[in-house]
Amino acid sequence: MTAMNTTTPTPSPASHFDAAARDWDQRPTSQQLAAVAPRLLAQLPLSPTDQVLDFGAGTGLLATQIAPLVAQVTALDTSAAMLEVLQAKGHANITTHCGDVFAGLPGRYHAIVSCMALHHVADTAALLRAFADALHPGGRIALVDLYLEDGSFHGDNAAKGVQHLGFAPEALGALAQQAGLADIHFSHIVQLQQRNGRSYPLFLMTGRKP
């Protein structure tokens, strides 16, 4: 007789985000992150003819703010439920793409943006190379994430698919340069207050493809 397995499996990162999608925009963290888009756009030159990729787009924190300024935004995420919430917002020039960035991107872009998605990807160097390969010459990146922290920001890191406890700018900037990006610059963009009573700074990393 086979013994019954009484161990509760750890939820996958995809199931975590799918389950949270419906109420994602109402979370206190999401509401604080609403400040990111205007501050990011202040440092990202865009043209009405541009094609933009939003990596880890979720429910469209960045994509919905960028869409009125450009020709097309491709919203890439691994959570179909998150992208369904974004689609329901009805932006005609936002195309959603559910898939893995390493399976290939559906186009080339004048800009690639991201907010709080880098730390979910194990191979940061490969991710930055994929971004560089997908950019037109002169194309730009504008990526927002956590400065290096002690693991307390998310709490349950495994269930939420956390691969990095934030980033040290010097190390991340070196990886970006190795990927072929230039003019790498870091700036503080917002401070997030978490339920544990602590405040965590986020950076904006910008750069361009020569």
Radius of gyration of the chain (CA): 17
Report residue 31: phi and psi, to 5°: -65, -35
Q: Return the exposure string of 46-68: e unless at least 16 CB atoms fall within 10 Å of the residue's CB, then b.
A: beeebbbbbbbbbbbbbbbbbbe
Strand-pair category, 199-208 with 135-146: antiparallel
Q: Residue 193's closest CA among 151, 153, 147, 146?
A: 153
Contact 143, 121 (CB under 8 A): no
The pLDDT tens digits for 147-178 are 999 999 988 766 578 999 999 999 999 999 99
The pLDDT tens digits for 113-143 are 999 999 999 999 999 999 999 999 999 999 9
Q: How many CB atoms within 10 Å of residue 189?
A: 21
The pLDDT tens digits for 56-89 are 999 999 999 999 999 999 999 999 999 999 999 9
Q: Is pLDDT above 80 for 20?
A: no
pTM for the whole thing? 0.89
